[in-house]
């Protein structure tokens, strides 16, 4: 048997004391083959490869290259061993040309000057069939061109082992096809290639062998020719585990938020959401499953009013009247103006005249809905900012994925973080500090938040406590819709269960809860319905009580036969 190009033996990597990213992983890569590493997110694929590329250093285990043990402590060591990794997030300097990026960091001792690099880059490109202009600036390039630069960068350094982390995530169908051709050509040239992916069809298409990983462990190696997508799915998701999470029966489920035909293209021009339609019901928990980055975050942000979808409607159903939210007023003066135009009427049909009425009485009229707006038009939430949505009377709470970035301000204490929700209250220019402080104290007691004081910057709290602060605050406003994205990520078991219970309690009070999760077992144990999103498209909604992992796994990874996408 020939010596493998790369061999990992019993690699273990821990982060902190509790999180084991890789446990005893062994893996072999032969010369001239394409090996796929398949697994769900968070299963340790990228961490494992980062150890080969010198980003992390393994706690345990050995790495052999061409039969010789190698110690890889930095990216530079990796280059010297002929290993090059193309990361999911490109590491390129925007204002440099392709060639300048390629030559970056290559020892200055080598005589090739910047001009020769241009021709060397063209040479490599010609050899493997890339099309690239070495003098083009990165900021003028498409995603696929940037990826090409990344690949040429590692080839220029003489890499024999190429690792590509989710290389197809950002490419169109044609670009994927071309990339795969190039990969095959490189393998034929004797290069060994590892491709990290969670897409089954790509595995089947491009790889020679597949290593499947689950929860940090290598669960098996199969030859691509001898396996099927179904077998791979089963290996990937594993057996079902019952978690014993408290799940109450849905309470009077009625539609609360109706999302129809949502399309969202991000500023980079990538289509993130494609024709997303669904209904979240009050008193019910809707789980959202999907590979990370399939559009979950953008979907929630669209609803929360943080980003604007290009098309589609979002309608909020007022739980009191069980009909869509209609008119919303911003200012008394606005109400007066509309009334002067004759747009308001009393419930008995007579026109409203606000002339001579005091501000106070007008406000009372509007608040108590004693006067009605003529046009009974539905107010779509799309194109509304979070503040406008709140002024509409929609009580919407959002627990974002990025707790300390979007949810809380890390450098201020719990009490002040509570004020982020209530800073508009209070008299005149003064804020009301006592209520948020009280709320903070209640939360500390109720949720058992461990903090030296209410003033301690939340950044200094542990992950679980930070999350409790955030979830506690969002729940305290007694929302009608509660959206939580990965609320238990990085939390220990106890904190996780506490969060599950909080969400379940909210459901029991009639709130529509939307829970984006990554662990299928949790989703199946906690939610009432599970909706699967796959590359920005809803591929199915299943009953969580009867769902099985295989179905979900299939919905999450199945390829959509939609050729229309490839043309852009």
Nearest CB to another protein, comparing residues 21 and 512: 21
Residue in 60, 69, 94, 189 binding another protein, rule: CB under 8 A: 94
Listed ranges 70-78, 211-219, 297-305, 392-400: which one lies at the site for another protein (CB under 8 A): 70-78
- Spatial CA neighbour of 84 closest among 26, 27, 4, 164: 164
| Cβ contact 520:488 at 8 Å | no
Q: Does 87 bind another protein (CB under 8 A)?
A: yes
Listed ranges 74-82, 175-183, 287-295, 405-413: which one lies at the site for another protein (CB under 8 A): 74-82
Q: Does 76 bind another protein (CB under 8 A)?
A: yes
- DSSP, collapsed to helix, strand or coil, labels residue 376 as coil
Count, residues near another protein per rule CB under 8 A: 25
Nearest CB to another protein, comparing residues 21 and 302: 21
Q: Does 100 bind another protein (CB under 8 A)?
A: yes
d(CA 185, CA 175): 15
d(CA 12, CA 25): 7
| Cβ contact 370:362 at 8 Å | no
Count how many residues are written for the chain: 568
Q: Does 423 bind another protein (CB under 8 A)?
A: no
Residue in 42, 75, 380, 386 binding another protein, rule: CB under 8 A: 75
Listed ranges 35-43, 73-81, 175-183, 306-314: which one lies at the site for another protein (CB under 8 A): 73-81
Listed ranges 71-79, 200-208, 370-378, 507-515: which one lies at the site for another protein (CB under 8 A): 71-79
d(CA 288, CA 532): 6
- DSSP, collapsed to helix, strand or coil, labels residue 64 as strand
Listed ranges 103-111, 224-232, 321-329, 373-381: which one lies at the site for another protein (CB under 8 A): 103-111
| Residue labelled with tokens 């929360």 | 304
Site for another protein in 17-36 (CB under 8 A): 21
State the alpha helices, DSSP H only, in 6-61: 45-52
Helices 463-476 & 493-508 angle (0-180, nearest 10): 10
Residue in 2, 68, 108, 355 binding another protein, rule: CB under 8 A: 108
Q: Does 119 bind another protein (CB under 8 A)?
A: no
Q: Does 340 bind another protein (CB under 8 A)?
A: no
Helix (H) or strand (E) holding 219: strand 217-223
d(CA 47, CA 59): 12
User: Please, what is the minimum distance in Å from the beta carbon of residue 124 to another protein?
Assistant: 17
- DSSP letter at 402? S
Residue in 79, 180, 316, 486 binding another protein, rule: CB under 8 A: 79
Residue in 1, 18, 68, 95 binding another protein, rule: CB under 8 A: 95
**What's the maximum distance between 2 C-alpha atoms anywhere in the chain?**
96
Q: Does 339 bind another protein (CB under 8 A)?
A: no
Q: Does 459 bind another protein (CB under 8 A)?
A: no
* Strand blocks (E) in 42-191: 60-65, 68-70, 83-86, 161-165
| Cβ contact 479:396 at 8 Å | yes
- DSSP, collapsed to helix, strand or coil, labels residue 487 as coil
Give the footprint of another protein on this chain (CB under 8 A): 15, 21, 55, 74-76, 79, 87, 91-96, 100, 103-106, 108, 113-114, 137, 139, 153
């Amino acid at each position: 048997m020939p010596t493998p190009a790369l061999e990992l033996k019993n690699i273990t990597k821990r982060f902190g004391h509790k999180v084991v990213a890789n446990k005893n992983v062994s893996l072999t890569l032969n010369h001239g083959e394409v090996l796929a590493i398949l697994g769900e997110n968070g299963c340790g694929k990228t961490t494992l490869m980062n150890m080969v590329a010198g980003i992390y250093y393994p706690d345990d285990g050995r790495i052999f290259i061409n039969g010789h043990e190698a110690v890889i402590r930095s990216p530079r060591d990796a280059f010297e061993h002929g290993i090059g990794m193309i990361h999911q997030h490109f590491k390129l300097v925007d204002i440099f040309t392709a060639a300048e990026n390629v030559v970056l960091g290559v020892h200055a001792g080598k005589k090739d000057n910047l001009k020769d690099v241009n021709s060397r880059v063209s040479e490599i490109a010609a050899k493997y069939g890339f099309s690239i202009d070495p003098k083009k600036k990165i900021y003028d390039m498409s995603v696929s061109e940037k990826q090409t630069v990344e690949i040429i960068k590692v080839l220029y350094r003489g890499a024999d082992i190429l690792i590509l982390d989710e290389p197809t995530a950002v490419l169109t169908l044609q670009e994927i096809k071309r990339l795969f051709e190039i990969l095959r050509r490189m393998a034929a040239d004797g290069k060994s290639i590892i491709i990290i992916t969670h897409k089954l069809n790509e595995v089947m298409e491009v790889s020679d062998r597949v290593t499947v990983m689950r929860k940090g462990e290598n669960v098996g190696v199969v030859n691509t020719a001898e396996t099927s997508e179904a077998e791979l799915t089963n290996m990937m998701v594993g057996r079902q585990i019952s978690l014993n999470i408290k799940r109450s029966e849905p309470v009077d489920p009625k539609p609360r938020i109706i999302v129809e035909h949502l399309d969202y293209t991000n500023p980079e021009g990538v289509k993130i959401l494609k024709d997303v339609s669904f209904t979240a019901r009050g008193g019910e928990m809707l789980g959202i499953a999907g590979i990370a980055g399939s559009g979950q975050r953008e979907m929630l942000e669209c609803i929360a009013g943080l980003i604007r979808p290009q098309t589609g409607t979002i309608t909020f159903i007022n739980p009191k009247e069980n009909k869509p939210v209609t008119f919303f007023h911003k200012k008394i003066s606005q109400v007066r103006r509309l009334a002067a135009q004759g747009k308001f009427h009393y419930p008995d049909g007579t026109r409203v005249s606000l002339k001579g009425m005091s501000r106070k009485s007008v406000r009372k009229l509007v608040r108590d809905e004693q006067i009605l707006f003529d046009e009974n038009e539905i107010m779509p939430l799309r194109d509304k900012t979070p503040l406008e949505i709140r002024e509409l009377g929609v009580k919407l709470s959002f627990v974002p994925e990025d707790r300390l970035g979007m949810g809380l301000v890390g450098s201020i204490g719990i009490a002040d973080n509570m004020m982020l929700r209530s800073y508009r209250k209070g008299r005149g220019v003064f804020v009301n500090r006592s209520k948020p402080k009280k709320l903070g104290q209640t939360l500390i007691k109720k949720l058992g938040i461990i903090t030296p004081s209410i003033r301690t910057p939340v950044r200094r709290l542990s992950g679980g406590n930070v999350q409790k602060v955030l979830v506690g605050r969002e729940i305290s406003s007694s929302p009608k819709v509660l959206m939580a994205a990965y609320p238990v990520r990085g939390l220990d078991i106890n904190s996780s269960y506490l969060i599950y219970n909080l969400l379940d309690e909210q459901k029991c009070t009639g709130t529509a809860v939307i829970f984006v999760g990554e662990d299928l077992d949790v989703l199946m144990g906690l939610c009432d319905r599970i909706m699967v999103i796959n590359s920005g498209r809803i591929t199915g909604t299943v009953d969580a009580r009867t769902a099985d992992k295989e179905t979900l796994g299939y919905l999450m990874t199945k390829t959509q036969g939609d050729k229309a996408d490839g043309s852009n």
